[in-house]
């Protein structure tokens, strides 16, 4: 049986998270289908059909799908589920919101946040904030899975020629109504897709001081992240949070500034290729996983770092 991927998108473009999820689907089976539920989302379905390895894309285009409300989307996925052995979505807030609902409606377990695929029914996922890895076997006939995107390469949006099939919308369950969203617009790369991330913690002392990080981020084309303490203190918005309960990232370079390195923070960034820590406390646990550490006052170090980067950029 084929694998179905639930596409995450913003009605304009496919999200990177879906491209990683398609790669995971291809590891499970050669036959991969996708479904796009959205409003005025024809551009998204075209992108998906071009993704390497996609055989067929189902699209339901209707206002009820515009805001990705879980109650509206799940019945459609359940309707399509018959033909599939596995249904995958990214382990983003989009996928986490929808997939357990789908699983419960199908009366099967849901498998969260897989980092590797052993075979069609055996998967590995981190537990206890990444302090242990669980290899599990699913005994259900259908596997409803969310995928940790940092563990799978992104599929390219070319080479594919999937058939696009329009499908009907389901009835509006009328359970949750969208009121508004406050999305943070930024010209910097998305955290979960960035090659370089510079994150600040409580040591930054204020939101204004994040300018020091932003200046460096712009020179390195990096994304800016934060610890929970920095978000809780109101220095930066919630979507900056990296960690067990925030975003999981694995860039080529992660620079942690004024972050102590609590396990809940490490859970979100320890798989980064190179980790740099800047902290005035030489005992800070972040140094135990840092490839390069500098002990010192970040307010002195950051301006110097900015200048040194100018030198290599020029």
Ligand X SMILES: Cc1cc2nc3c(=O)[nH]c(=O)nc-3n(C[C@H](O)[C@H](O)[C@H](O)COP(=O)(O)OP(=O)(O)OC[C@H]3O[C@@H](n4cnc5c(N)ncnc54)[C@H](O)[C@@H]3O)c2cc1C
Contact footprint for ligand X (CB under 6 A): 201-203, 227-230, 241-246, 258-260, 262, 264-265, 268, 279-281, 284, 297-299
Partner from ligand X, other proteins, none contacting 201, C-beta within 5 to 8 A by type: ligand X
Under DSSP, the state recorded for 258 is: S
**Cβ–Cβ under 8 Å, residues 204 and 299:** no
- 139-154 core/surface letters (b: 16 or more CB in 10 A; e: else): eeebbbbbbbbbbbeb
Residue 253 binds to other proteins (criterion: CB under 8 A):
yes
- Please, how many CA atoms are within 13 Å of residue 29, restricted to the half-sphere of its CB? 18
Partner from other proteins, ligand X, none contacting 299, C-beta within 5 to 8 A by type: ligand X
72-91 residues in contact with other proteins (CB under 8 A) are: 74
Partner from other proteins, ligand X, none contacting 119, C-beta within 5 to 8 A by type: none
Partner from ligand X, other proteins, none contacting 137, C-beta within 5 to 8 A by type: other proteins
Select 7 or 267, whichever has its Cβ closest to ligand X. 267
Choices 31-39, 48-56, 57-65, 243-251; region in contact with other proteins by CB under 8 A: 243-251
Partner from other proteins, ligand X, none contacting 230, C-beta within 5 to 8 A by type: ligand X
Please give the structure tokens belonging to residue 152: 């799978």
Please give the structure tokens belonging to residue 174: 């009328």
204-233 residues in contact with other proteins (CB under 8 A) are: 220, 228, 231-232
Report how far residue 267's alpha carbon sits from residue 244's, in angstroms, rounded to the nearest whole number.
5
Residue 270 binds to other proteins (criterion: CB under 8 A):
yes
Pairing relation of β-strands 274-279 and 223-226?
unpaired
Cβ count within 10 A of residue 111: 21
Cβ count within 10 A of residue 159: 11
Residue 293 binds to other proteins (criterion: CB under 8 A):
yes
């Amino acid at each position: 049986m084929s694998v179905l991927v639930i596409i995450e998108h913003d009605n304009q473009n496919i999200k990177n998270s879906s491209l990683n999820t398609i790669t995971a689907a291809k590891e499970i089976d050669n036959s991969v289908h996708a479904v796009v539920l959205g409003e005025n989302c024809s551009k998204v379905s075209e992108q998906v059909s071009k993704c390497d390895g996609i055989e067929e894309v189902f699209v339901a285009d209707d206002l009820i799908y515009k805001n990705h409300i879980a109650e509206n989307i799940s019945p459609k996925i359940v309707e399509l589920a018959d033909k599939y052995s596995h249904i995958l979505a990214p382990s983003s807030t989009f996928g986490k919101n929808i997939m357990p609902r789908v699983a419960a409606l199908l009366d099967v377990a849901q498998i969260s946040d897989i980092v590797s695929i052993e075979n069609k029914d055996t998967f590995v996922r981190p537990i206890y904030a990444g302090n242990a890895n669980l290899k599990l076997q699913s005994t259900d006939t259908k596997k409803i899975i969310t995928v940790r995107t940092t563990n799978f390469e992104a599929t390219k949006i070319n080479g594919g020629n999937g058939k696009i099939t329009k499908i009907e919308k389901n009835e509006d369950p009328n359970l949750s109504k969208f009121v508004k969203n406050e999305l943070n617009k930024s010209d910097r790369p998305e955290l979960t897709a960035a090659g370089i991330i510079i994150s600040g913690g409580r040591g930054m002392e204020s939101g204004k001081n994040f300018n020091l990080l932003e200046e460096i981020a712009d020179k390195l084309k990096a994304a800016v992240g934060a610890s929970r303490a920095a978000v809780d203190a109101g220095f930066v918005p919630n979507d900056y949070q990296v960690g067990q309960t925030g975003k999981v990232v694995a860039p080529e370079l992660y620079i942690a500034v004024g972050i102590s390195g609590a396990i809940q923070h490490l859970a979100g960034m320890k798989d980064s290729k190179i980790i740099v820590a800047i902290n005035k406390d030489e005992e800070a646990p972040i140094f135990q996983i840092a490839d390069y550490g500098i002990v010192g006052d970040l307010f002195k170090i950051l301006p110097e770092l900015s200048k040194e980067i100018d030198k290599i950029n020029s």
